[in-house]
A and B are shown apart, each in its own frame.
Chain A
């Protein structure tokens, strides 16, 4: 029972990270129907930039992270402007190929600079576990969960309350109608990229502080984002959150209960099995947009 609880908690922590990463991915898709295959690579790059600022430049960890988030917001605007805007209106496959190309370039750059090794974030929290009953919670895990939750909360507030956030949802709903009211669709695309990279880097930094850093490992989160967003519904922000949490929990339950029995690791397979099962029942995902039809 306690083992189960422990797995659930760990699952939620890593799931919240997936949720955060998935949010950025969904945002870009919702606004501009672009599937960003480089999402995981931006996540990894941002985490390593924060790491480099903290270790090579010896900035304190928190300012290093905040500085990285700001830089990646701007990087998002630049990537949209330079790489994606020329592709507006082009074939979907062309846009996908460009994002795959971007992914390779970022991977290459990271490999050149940091190589294949594992690194550790400088510690910035006491590593004394908090024990509640039989439950071991590390402060870093709790902080990670809190940070992910805070980001998710902030983003949802932004989409509900701010005029820019509402306009972003409007563009996702009917681009031409938004244009007719003076919404600058270009600005919305750019801001989606900015916010998407911020959410990716935030997710990466949380994972990075919980576990070790490797470019490979972090990029892989980009792949795990797929089951999360597809389970949730490709164009649903709440869906991304639920999908992320679900995948995180399932991964941990598999690792805890099934892997020891079979002696092989299935933890990274299970999310995709669930993905297929859910799509068979709900082709648009759990929360995906189904056309509203009035009767």
Chain B
């Protein structure tokens, strides 16, 4: 399961981190997603998530990132969405339009955007919900594991989750998903609404989870800089399509990515992108 060769290299962008280097855990083939049978949101998206790696899916608000994750986890069905075309191959099986509970049982779990912890349950009860699909008796042990990664959750374990801080709630959302013992963790904007210090803390833990537990991660972010610091490979999405992909080193050196997603140079030539950047900045520091 674990792949020391790639996991051992902490810094992304080494040649070994290219997707071809490891066997794919998940392959999304040219999927189209529609909501309510009419609103076409994904217009042929393909991506590969190699086993044991962190793959970043970047893009601005409304690009279709969350929709991509929901297509994989099966949560689309709860919003009247559907994969209309293409396939999603996980461990040799097409899971497009599968029932969400069966996808979780197969080892994929999505951490929803906006944390979505159970406010009226205690922290520990939140973790407990992550074990509904499990039949083994090692639940106590896994709770210890979650507390090991997130010691703050241990301190608050008997508190109602609704009263935890934003950072703690994000930790709980990730910890709760770890209780499923996933092979593939889908993270939707874990940095949303958090102070920069906390973003760093959480991303460092995400990297440790990947390295130490061998959990493969598909990380959706608007905060490209934070995401590219932990990922091995990245895709950039705009308007329901993948418009760029590459190793982290390639993406970091790509002038467009530098300008529009990392905000490294100032240039006023394309107004729409400037608006986007301003939006992102506001969001990050809110």
Q: Which residues of A are in contact with B by a Cβ distance under 8 Å? A: 163-164, 166-167, 169-170, 172-184, 289, 292, 294
Contacts and interface: CB of A to CB of B under 8 A. Distances in A.
B121 A173 contact: yes
B100 interface: yes
Given A169-B125, A176-B112, A292-B163, A181 B119 contact: no
Nearest to B169: A294
A182 B180 contact: yes
Contacts, number: 87
A175 B73 CA distance: 15
A292 B118 CA distance: 11
Q: Pick from A174, A180, A182 the residue with the most CB of B within 10 Å.
A: A180
Contact of B101 (A172, A175, A183): A183
B116 A174 contact: yes
Interface in B151-166: 160, 162-163, 165-166
B100 A163 contact: no
Contacts of B110: 180
A85 to B, nearest CB: 15
B46 interface: no
B38 interface: no
27 contacts: A163-B131, A169-B120, A170-B126, A170-B129, A173-B118, A173-B120, A174-B117, A174-B118, A176-B75, A176-B116, A177-B112, A177-B117, A179-B75, A179-B101, A180-B75, A180-B100, A180-B111, A181-B109, A181-B129, A181-B177, A181-B180, A182-B132, A183-B132, A184-B101, A292-B119, A292-B160, A292-B163
A173 B78 contact: no
A182 to B, nearest CB: 3
Interface string B163-183: 101100000000011011000
Nearest to A179: B100
A166 B129 contact: yes
Contacts of A184: 101
B78 A179 contact: yes
B222 to A, nearest CB: 20
Interface in B127-163: 128-133, 160, 162-163
A181 B176 CA distance: 8
Q: Considering the complex of A and B, which 8 residue pairs feature the smallest CB-CB distances, nearest first?
A: A182-B104, A292-B162, A182-B133, A177-B116, A173-B118, A170-B129, A182-B101, A292-B119
A166 B128 contact: yes
Contacts of B133: 181-182
Nearest to B164: A294
B125 A180 contact: no
Contacts of A182: 100-101, 103-105, 109, 132-133, 180
A175 B131 CA distance: 16
Contacts of B109: 180-182
Please tell me the size bucket of the interface on B: 35 or more
Nearest to A177: B116
Contacts of A292: 119-120, 160, 162-163
A178 B180 CA distance: 12
B63 to A, nearest CB: 21
A277 B133 CA distance: 45
A163 B117 CA distance: 17
B121 A170 contact: yes
A182 B166 CA distance: 24
Contacts of A167: 129, 132
Contacts of A166: 121, 125, 128-129
Contact of B132 (A172, A174, A176, A181): A181
A136 B131 CA distance: 50
Contact of A169 (B103, B121, B132, B163): B121
B22 to A, nearest CB: 26
A172 to B, nearest CB: 8
Given A180-B109, A181-B132, A182-B101, A169 B78 contact: no
Interface string B241-260: 00000000000000000000
Contact of A173 (B103, B104, B105, B119): B119
Contact of A180 (B73, B128, B131): B73
Nearest to A182: B104
Interface string B64-108: 000000000101001000000000000000000000110111000
